[in-house]
Structure 1
Amino acid sequence: MPRLDLTHIVIHHTGAEEKDTEQIRRYHMKLGWQDIGYDYVIEKDGKVVEGRSLSVQGAHAGVTYYNQHAIGVAVIGNLSKRDIYPEQLSSLIELLKNLLVKYHIPIKNVLLHREIKKTECPGDRFPKATVMAALEEYFSPKPGPEKPADPNKELEKLLAMLQEERKKNQILQQRVKQLEKALEEIQGIILKNR
């Protein structure tokens, strides 16, 4: 059955310490599935491997709606028993960023498997807060360059400063004239008294 439009991403752990994606694929196919159930798998070293094609219905959620509309991303390991490896975490965050952009999926639609079905997946030690914070930071609006000043307002400021300086200059010129006049009067008095 073809996949309908993609609206969500569901994060899983494999629940075991498989060697690689191929081991999981073989196991799922032994169960009678046509391919691995996950669309992407993040191996222990952080390598991202494509799994089931997004053109066919997923087999990862255990809920029909999410198998039809969600991208299933699995991290190899049992994240109830151990922390996610740093390489896996950084690869997961980068993969999620790319998928959110490519398929226009909102961040709020990134879900853990246990949020849609009664399960422990992706494990109690899965760092959801860290993942979501990284996505929020990446997609939050960044402040743009400072807006250039309005040239008209700048010109008005300069004209106001010039007028203020002219007033000060006029006052100074008046004081100079007053001082010159006072000096002439003093010189006149001195000459008379000689």
Structure 2
Amino acid sequence: MKYSCFFILVVAALQSCLLAVNGCPNIVSRSEWGARSPSGSKFMSTPVDYFVVHHTAGASCSDISSCSSVMRGIQNYHMDSNGWWDIGYNFLIGGDGNVYEGRGWDTTGAHAGVAEYNTNSIGVSMMGEFSSSMPTQAALQALDDFVTCAITMGKLVPDVYAVLGHQDVKSTSCPGTLFYLDHVQQMTNYNGPSLEECIQ
């Protein structure tokens, strides 16, 4: 038993080192935030072509405790009210600058509302409502770093990948007007409509 525990600790340490080497922000695992077990899943082949950015349009959070509570609330809503297998997003980002594991890298999400994007994208949602305010600087930095992380982890096609806001693939105000215009559209490899097209 003690050798099994030692092996698990070594694997966890190696994964943490790999994330650090790849420049990934801190990723809070499902077990760490208290996730329920999913009722199902569908494998997603990676690397994918799209990185789709959302906001949750709900409560924001500022530390692991409050963000974990928000995560559990979103998962409960998605599973119990929407009838989904699990929380819809692949990952979420809190105001504390941590990335929270949703469905993870290799599981098809339920975030874009369009099947061809759900099966070929990493859906990342910022916790909070960002129509007229911005995420924290720590959260914005984590978002930018997470794109690099996805590329170096082999989960996002390098060079030709496209960053999109949710509203670029479906009629919605997500990920919030101010955040969308001031940050998402400025991200490297953003491939939605231009600012001029949005204003028209």
Same fold (TM over 0.5): yes
Contact 1:8 1:69 (C-alpha < 8 Å) held by counterparts = yes
Whether 1:90 aligns to 2:131 is no
Q: Structure 2 CA distance, aligned partners of 1:49 and 1:10?
A: 16
Q: Distance in 2 between matches of 1:3 and 1:15?
A: 26
Query: Conserved in 2, the CA contact under 8 Å of 1:79 and 1:125?
Result: yes
- The answer (yes or no) to whether the contact 1:107–1:135 under 8 Å persists in 2 is no
Q: CA deviation at 1:101?
A: 3.2
Structure-2 change in CA distance of 1:54 and 1:108 (3 Å) = closer
Normalising to structure 2: TM-score of the pair? Answer: 0.61
Q: Supply the distance in 2 between the matched residues of 1:101 and 1:131 (Cα, whole angstroms).
A: 20
Matched length: 136
Distance 2:45 2:75 in 1: 23
Give the conservation status (yes or no) of the 8 Å contact 2:111–2:118: yes
Sort the Cα spacing of 1:99 and 1:129 in 2 relative to 1 into closer, same or farther, 3 A: farther
* Residues 1:10 and 2:52 aligned together: yes
Instruction: Name the structure 1 match of 2:75.
Output: 25
Unaligned runs of 5+ in 1: 137-194
Instruction: Give 1:21 shift.
Output: 1.7
Q: Which AA in structure 1 matches 2:59?
A: E
* Cα distance, 1:29 vs structure 2: 1.3
Decide whether aligned partners of structure 1 residues 33 and 135 sit closer, same or farther in structure 2, where only a CA change above 3 A counts.
Answer: same
Bigger fraction of residues in helix: 1
Identify which of structures 1 and 2 has the higher relative contact order when contacts are C-alpha pairs closer than 8 Å and 6+ apart: 2
Moved over 3 A (4+): 105-108, 127-136
User: Is residue 173 of structure 2 the alignment partner of residue 120 of structure 1?
Assistant: yes
Bigger Rg, structure 1 or 2: 1
Deviation, structure 1 residue 135: 3.7
Name the SS of the counterpart of 2:178 in structure 1.
coil
Deviation at 1:87, TM superposition (A): 1.3
Structure 2 residue runs without a partner (length 5+): 1-41, 61-65, 190-200
Do 1:2 and 1:55's aligned partners in 2 also have CA atoms closer than 8 Å? yes
CA distance in 2, matches of 1:129, 1:81: 11
